Structure 1
């Protein structure tokens, strides 16, 4: 799109030059096409694009501003060289006509044409700057996007091992107790791993899949909880196919199970997407006997991903109280989800 804008500036400049030529002929009551009109137009055109494609790119140095003066005078020299060759060498040889008096030196010709060439060199150099700036801007945006993608991939790879580690600990506990729930737990974990292995490679998944992860995780955890009825889940999803980054909500639920008190307490989980604003609310009670110094890994991970994926489009409130932990997250989905 930006390259198209530069092209339109080129077209506009040459239309302006042609219009100015026609206007001057009308003002000065000239008729017919003067050969000098052709030669100066050709000198302008050739000087313009030699400067645009070769001189400005060759001499420009952002650390040496004085080189722009060099660009200007080299551009003027090229313009003068083209015009001098046509008007003082080619025309006299073909027609016997010349623009300047015979014997005019090249130095005089150069000095006299600084005025006529200045606009051409100035506009040509500035249009090259536009193209250069757009190219640099596109490259910068590309590098930013690549860095964001690399960060997200790194963050997502942190989630999977952390998630597996916690689940294996739970299953180990069930196996150690010879619980009948061990086999169903392994089946649940296998189901979760199939989901995560397949979908973590994607940039986005549907909201119903993300909630499916959460429901599978809760189903796995219910196998080890004495009072699973205390896990209150309220779901009101109107746009199940809306896109969301995979494993963005799961760490909050995982954190609740890892550090929550489920002996005679549960948690409240509410998920809704009214007006395409995702509202995720989770309230659980802490297990005061468990103090894990690594408890913040999953939460910090989500915070970083939210900043990258939804800058100024999300609100995350976390209340880390003495005996309670509350997460209140809202995400405004981007327009491409419409």
Structure 2
């Protein structure tokens, strides 16, 4: 049984118990059909209320975090309950069974204010159900994150390389390459810088934005070796890079994806990389023409993984938009409060 089936089963069990309790008085104290129908009517209306709150009101409040949204949703649910009860018990029951809940001539104002009280249980039950499931879901996510952290640490330990050995080896290769080829020697130095940056650690997982930009420049220069003069990438920076901090390697996946799956040797359709800094926000977009001859069908950057990382670091403070029309591919990232 999957999670959805289990949830549906628990909801059905809960409503069965609730309806059974609500109509228990019908069997214990009276056999009047009117009481049974009115009890069932209340159950149906409360069920509608619960799912309006559970699926709409409280999720919207969680998304926008504004009490006005919550208050509007609760008041709207009350009004919905009152309208449905009036149509069901005052109109439909009267037409089908010849009776209504409130006596004929009851003022609409009295009906409205009297039913504010009766509307509260459905809202309360909806809040309890939503809060309970939200708590369970949060606990599951926390357990999942802990497991992922443990797995990541194990994977890191399995693949860990002594950085001093790596740097010493690259420096030795540089000393051998320098007399032979300036390009090769420069490429080794840039590769050394890339590896040093990738192995850099900080307490909060962030680095200076300038280092991230330098990493992008080194990456592009190494990639350029494959195409020499037929490598067309425009990297534009607007604003001042002066001490801002960003998560390490947060920008490179978009550039890597554009170079891997895009056209980089056509001067008429260069890969365009734009980095803009405005106040405390960062705007980063990468666009490329899609390479139809690309044989590598791997997804590259893995957008779900990037979104998950951004959600953990910048919850509610980032926007990632992806556009594709079959000919061009573009990613647009905005980070707030960097």
TM-score for the superposition, normalised by structure 1? 0.45
Give the structure, 1 or 2, with the largest relative contact order (CA under 8 Å, sep 6 or more). Answer: 1
Larger Rg: 1
TM-score for the superposition, normalised by structure 2? 0.45
